[in-house]
Chains A and B, each alone.
Chain A
Amino acid sequence: KQEVTQIPAALSVPEGENLVLNCSFTDSAIYNLQWFRQDPGKGLTSLLLIQSSQREQTSGRLNASLDKSSGRSTLYIAASQPGDSATYLCAVGGGADGLTFGKGTHLIIQP
């Protein structure tokens, strides 16, 4: 059974810092890995999708990497802003199956 772990569970940093969120998964047989953002009481916003054949994806200040063989992904956020405060979820899966989510990293960016 796939298990997804996210470290750290919570993170609070001053505005402007670069930061890294980590995600690990136990079964490397995945179709893709997706990073989401969830604001309190809200649904999910897809940030980046990495196909299993890809190594990384970038969107603006966000960069996500995937090392499928070691079962790891990182989400890099450059020049953090208070508006980045949210819970960041990593999920793996794809194909005909649903996604397996980690518990998320609760991020607070201090103004």
Chain B
Amino acid sequence: GAVVSQHPSWVICKSGTSVKIECRSLDFQATTMFWYRQFPKQSLMLMATSNEGSKATYEQGVEKDKFLINHASLTLSTLTVTSAHPEDSSFYICSAPRDRSSGMDYGYTFGSGTRLTVV
């Protein structure tokens, strides 16, 4: 259980175009979705946190106008990289907290990631 499906798994786009990445929770309701990115040989860094029905909160240094996050339903969160540039090429991955209805924290489940290459 607690599966997050992320699409696409990889995408190549031209500089200046926009790319949308989707994360769907398949068998649970994800009220919160975390978005991370990972540059080569670096750690995963939290970019932003989205909560269903409200605006996303962005980490320091992440441009909210460039990385648009939408969390309009309990099963879908999207990240749109607008006017992409080569320096945006990275591995993007989403994550949702697992069931906490019992009061326990069962960690997080992750999507399979999206490798974005901007040429």
Name B's interface SS: strand
Q: Tell me, in angstroms, the Cα distance from A23 to B45 when the chains sit together.
A: 17
**Interface 1/0 per residue, B89-119 and A, CB below 8 Å:** 0000101000000001111111111010000
Min C-beta distance of B63 to chain A, whole Å: 18
Q: A32-B105, A46-B109, A51-B104 are in contact. Are A101 and B44 (CB under 8 A)?
A: yes
Contacting residues of chain B (14-44) with chain A, CB-CB under 8 angstroms: 32, 34, 36, 41-44
B78 within 8 A of A: no
A-side interface size class = 20 to 34
Checking A42, A51, A99 against B46 with a beta-carbon cut-off of 8 angstroms, the contacting residue is A99
A41-85 at interface with B (beta carbon < 8 Å): 41-44, 46, 49, 51
The number of residues on chain B lying at the interface, defined by a beta carbon within 8 Å of a beta carbon of chain A, is: 24
> Are the C-beta atoms of A42 and B107 separated by less than 8 Å?
no
**A97 to B59 CA separation, bound complex (whole angstroms):** 11
> How far, in angstroms, from A101 to B37 measured CA to CA in the complex?
11
Give the A-B pair count, Cβ closer than 8 A. 55
With an 8 A cutoff between CB atoms, is B77 at the interface? no
Contacting residue for B110 out of A31, A46, A96, A100, CB 8 A: A46
Q: Is A108 in the interface zone, CB < 8 Å from B?
A: no
A49, B107: Cβ atoms under 8 Å? yes
> Is A103 touching B111 in the complex (CB atoms < 8 A)?
no
Which residue of the partner chain A has the closest CB to B106?
Answer: A49
A-B contact pairs, 10 of them (CB 8 A): A4-B43, A43-B112, A44-B110, A46-B110, A96-B32, A98-B49, A99-B46, A101-B36, A101-B43, A104-B43
Q: Which residues of B contact A (CB under 8 A)?
A: 6, 32, 34, 36, 41-46, 49, 93, 95, 104-113, 115
